[in-house]
């Protein structure tokens, strides 16, 4: 059985990234265009990017539009908020030699790749509007596309002796508009890898990312009560086509899908606390390319909580999220694609992080997915991704260590360990593959410039 190991290419990756970091000046910022615009260093908005601080959440609520007098007085070309990103990574799965595996079961495994390379439009448009737009090359899928799109208009007003901050967002992924780091889009781990992942996932948990477009309204009352409602539909074909990251939509909504988000937050000295709920209801076409193919209905309801402590040299944060999905196979069951007319799927993740001087640190996460057995749905008969029992149940741990030589460069070592995969710890696919065979080591150098 193959063992995970650091090869020469991986070491070279980290040596080059470390040299780059050591040569950089300490004044370099996490997202340079926003840093230039506000005049603040990155630790004003971020603990360690991409996690937001109290000020960072306010900046996002304000439509990314706050700017310094120096920036406002600069020539037009100097005020165009463009930044770049580069992610270089290497993934090594514990065992890629398994009987019956498809040739593409482990794409880019044991290759040093440019995982993402592209640019941001990140910052102000007008005095009350701004955007965070990421367009990049995806080195795992080998495609260019719109990774992230969030354009906002924001304002505020006093109602009695309370402040109401409000706005409108046009975006391409449920939860991308959220201001907390406990919901799927901004939750840990903050980057994918080329490793095998359990196939069962709820609709709101990144299944629609960069495949939809939607408009939402949001508000924060008295710096305590946050609310957002939005509606999404598939990006292609349609008016939202420019937001899609892919040419072919894999999860195509049938009509509009409503989304909601409500939370209560409390700020007390160096501590911030949040507890909330979010969810959506949507119908998904059985055949993404045929609008007359019929659709299945999904109802996702989530709960989340987060805590953050920032004082002096120390940063502590913790997040938790739970999602329950009710799946009604109104089209797939009669077509013989599912064993049951309705099923349930639950996802839970909990993580804890610590950083010293925003330079050294990391985090650990426990994750779990449980759901009803469905032999037709999950028992594909394929090695690696199939489930011999028809169960979607998976659980395990993620551990990540980070080093930031400067604030805009993050070096990461991540290990993912599975205790259960697709319903079992041993021989889960019927081809002799064990859950721990999918354990993986991931190396990342992430630079913003």
The predicted structure's pLDDT at residue 3: 41
pLDDT of 129 above 60: yes
> pLDDT by residue (tens digit) across 249-301?
889 999 999 999 999 999 999 999 999 999 999 999 999 888 889 999 999 99
Q: Of all residues in the chain, what percent are helix, strand and coil, respectively (each to 5)?
A: 15, 45, 40
CATH number belonging to domain 8-448: 2.40.160.10
Q: Are 422 and 390 in contact (CB under 8 A)?
A: no
What share of the chain has pLDDT > 90, as a percent? 80
Residues near 358 by Cβ (< 8 Å), separated by ≥ 6? 43, 47, 48, 315, 404, 407
The predicted structure's pLDDT at residue 242: 87
**DSSP characters for 27-58?**
T--SSHHHHHHH---GGGTBSSTTSB-HHHHH
Residue that is written with structure tokens 């993580």 in the block: 351
The predicted structure's pLDDT at residue 191: 92
Q: Where are the domains of the chain?
A: 8-448
Listed range (98-107, 146-155, 236-245) with the worst mean pLDDT: 98-107
pTM to 2 decimals?
0.90
> pLDDT by residue (tens digit) across 1-56?
334 344 434 444 444 444 444 434 333 345 789 989 999 988 889 899 899 999 99
The predicted structure's pLDDT at residue 34: 92
pLDDT of 325 above 60: yes
Residue that is written with structure tokens 């908020």 in the block: 81
Maximum average pLDDT range among 22-26, 152-156, 158-162: 152-156
Residues near 77 by Cβ (< 8 Å), separated by ≥ 6? none
> pLDDT by residue (tens digit) across 348-406?
999 999 999 999 999 999 999 999 999 999 998 899 999 999 999 999 999 999 999 98
Residue that is written with structure tokens 């779990």 in the block: 368
How many residues appear in the chain? 449
Pairwise CA distance, residues 310 & 47, whole Å: 8
- What is the CA angle 45-50-54, rounded to 5? 35
The predicted structure's pLDDT at residue 15: 42
Q: What is the dihedral of CA 226, 133, 154, 322, to 10 degrees?
A: -10
The predicted structure's pLDDT at residue 105: 83
Find, among 179, 106, 121, 181, the residue nearest to 151 by Cα: 121
pLDDT of 100 above 90: no
Provide the 10 A C-beta neighbour count for residue 102: 10
Between 44 and 90, residue with greater pLDDT: 90
- What is the CA angle 248-249-252, rounded to 5? 155
Report CA torsion sign: 277, 278, 283, 287: negative
Find, among 319, 204, 189, the residue nearest to 263 by Cα: 319
Q: What is the mean pLDDT of the chain?
A: 91
Helix, strand, or coil here: 380? coil
pLDDT of 219 above 80: yes
Confidence of residue 324 (pLDDT cuts 50, 70, 90): very high
> pLDDT by residue (tens digit) across 208-218?
999 999 999 99
């Amino acid at each position: 059985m193959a063992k995970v190991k650091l090869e020469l290419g991986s070491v070279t990756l980290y040596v080059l990234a470390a040299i780059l970091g050591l040569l950089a000046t300490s004044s370099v910022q996490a997202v340079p265009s926003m840093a230039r615009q506000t005049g603040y260093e990155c630790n004003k908005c971020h603990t360690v990017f991409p996690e937001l601080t109290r000020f960072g959440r306010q900046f996002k609520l304000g439509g990314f539009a706050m700017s310094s007098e120096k920036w406002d007085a600069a020539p037009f070309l100097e005020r165009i908020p463009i930044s770049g990103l580069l992610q270089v990574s290497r993934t090594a799965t514990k065992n890629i030699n398994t009987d019956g595996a498809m040739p593409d079961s482990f794409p880019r495994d044991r290759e040093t790749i440019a995982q993402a390379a592209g640019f941001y439009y990140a910052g102000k448009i007008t005095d009350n509007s701004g955007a965070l737009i990421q367009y990049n090359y995806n080195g795992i899928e080998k495609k260019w596309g719109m990774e992230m799109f969030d354009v906002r208009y924001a304002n505020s007003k006093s109602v009695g002796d309370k402040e109401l901050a409000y706005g409108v967002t046009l975006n391409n992924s449920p939860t991308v508009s959220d201001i907390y780091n406990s919901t799927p889009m901004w939750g840990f781990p903050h980057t994918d890898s080329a490793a095998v992942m359990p196939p069962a996932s709820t609709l709101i948990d990144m299944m629609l990312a960069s495949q939809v477009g939607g408009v939402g309204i949001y508000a924060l009352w008295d710096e305590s009560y946050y609310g957002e409602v939005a509606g999404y539909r598939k990006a292609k074909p349609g008016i939202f086509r420019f937001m899609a990251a892919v040419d072919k939509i894999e999860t195509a909504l049938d009509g509009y899908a409503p989304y909601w988000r409500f939370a209560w937050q409390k700020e007390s000295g160096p501590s911030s606390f949040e507890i909330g709920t979010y969810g959506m209801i949507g119908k998904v076409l059985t055949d993404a390319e045929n609008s007359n193919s019929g659709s299945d209905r999904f109802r996702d309801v989530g709960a989340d909580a987060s805590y953050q402590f920032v004082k002096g040299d120390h940063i502590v944060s913790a997040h938790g999220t739970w999602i329950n999905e009710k799946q009604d196979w109104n089209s797939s069951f009669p077509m013989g694609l599912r064993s049951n007319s309705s099923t349930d799927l639950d996802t839970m993740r909990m993580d804890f992080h610590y950083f010293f001087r925003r330079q050294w640190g990391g985090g650990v996460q426990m994750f779990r997915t449980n759901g009803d057995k469905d032999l037709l749905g999950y028992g594909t008969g394929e090695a690696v991704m199939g489930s011999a029992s028809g169960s979607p149940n998976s659980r395990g741990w993620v551990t990540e260590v980070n080093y930031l030589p400067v604030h805009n460069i993050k070096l990461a070592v991540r290990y993912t360990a599975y205790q259960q995969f697709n319903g079992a710890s041993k021989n889960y696919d019927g081809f002799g593959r064990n859950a721990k065979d999918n354990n993986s080591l991931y190396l990342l150098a992430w630079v913003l410039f």
